[in-house]
Amino acid sequence: MNRSQDETSEALLSAARRLLSEHGPEALTVRRIAGEAGMSTMNVYSRFGGKDGVIDELYADGYRRLIETINGVPADDDIPTEILAVASAYRNFAIENPTYYGIMFRSAVPGFQPSPEAIAMALGGLANLVERIRRGQESGQIATEFETQSVAAWLWACCHGMVSFELDGVADGQLSWKQIYLYGVRAALSGVHPSVAVTSL
């Protein structure tokens, strides 16, 4: 983490992304990453410490890109509409960046464990959504009986579940996952509105 990025580092990361996307996780060896980038294995070790360091940087870079995407969604006085836009941006990121998404959320590389720094970055990505939900609670558009971070985590989990089905091609050609996604997020947001929220079970 926080490694200085130069052209060599970027070339190695791009090579690793291609290998994972085209050949699967078994292709992510130091030798193949270096060969795909047209470099020696020493470049992988000197910049990333080995294969796991490359994957850790891809994991962190994916979150940086996702956080930038979500941060780019403008604020709106209608908080549910704003959060729906965030959810749509999240889905678009996943569909457009399946290799990143696989590393970040879907255990695309068996046995990989992100570093504590990478995990901290990932959890920090939830902060933007938490802040938007907090504004919704303060404005009376989201029930205050729910803990803010828990609402954010629940909405994120709903989005992730639907995106995962879409990426897996579940009922592909029979269901419109884009439409289902919009239905699902709207239903989730309706469920935390103060007028209908179930605050005790």
The 10s digit of each residue's pLDDT in 7-35 is: 999 999 999 999 988 998 889 999 999 99
Question: Would the pLDDT of 67 be above 90?
Answer: yes
Query: Does 119 map to a domain?
Result: yes
Query: Does 160 map to a domain?
Result: yes
Question: Would the pLDDT of 95 be above 60?
Answer: yes
Q: What is the total count of domains within the chain?
A: 1
Supply 40's token pair.
């020696």
The 10s digit of each residue's pLDDT in 126-136 is: 889 999 999 99
> 129-165 burial string, b = 16+ CB within 10 Å, else e?
bbebbbbbbeeebbbeebebeebbeebbebbbebbeb
Q: What CATH number is given to the structural domain containing 131?
A: 1.10.357.10
Question: Cα-flanking dihedrals φ and ψ of residue 172, to 5°?
Answer: -60, 130
Query: Does 43 map to a domain?
Result: no
Instruction: Please answer whether residues 27 and 19 qualify as being in contact, where contact means their C-beta atoms are separated by less than 8 angstroms.
Output: yes
Query: Does 28 map to a domain?
Result: no
User: Residue 200 — very low, low, confident or very high, per pLDDT cuts 50/70/90?
Assistant: low
Amino acid, single-letter form, for residue 157? A
Range of the domain at 169: 56-191
User: Residue 1 — very low, low, confident or very high, per pLDDT cuts 50/70/90?
Assistant: very low
Query: Does 38 map to a domain?
Result: no
Residue with tokens 């558009």: 141
Query: Does 42 map to a domain?
Result: no
Write the CB contacts of 196 (distance below 8 Å, at least 6 apart in sequence). 190
Determine the pLDDT at residue 2.
43
Query: Does 33 map to a domain?
Result: no
Query: Does 31 map to a domain?
Result: no
Q: Residue 68, Cβ neighbours under 10 Å: how many?
A: 11
Supply 30's token pair.
């130091």
Which phi-psi region, left, alpha or beta, contains residue 50 (left: φ > 0; alpha: ψ -120 to 50)?
left
Question: Cα-flanking dihedrals φ and ψ of residue 175, to 5°?
Answer: -125, 145
Nearest CA-CA partner of 37 in 64, 16, 66, 62: 16
**pTM listed for this prediction:** 0.87
Determine the pLDDT at residue 140.
94
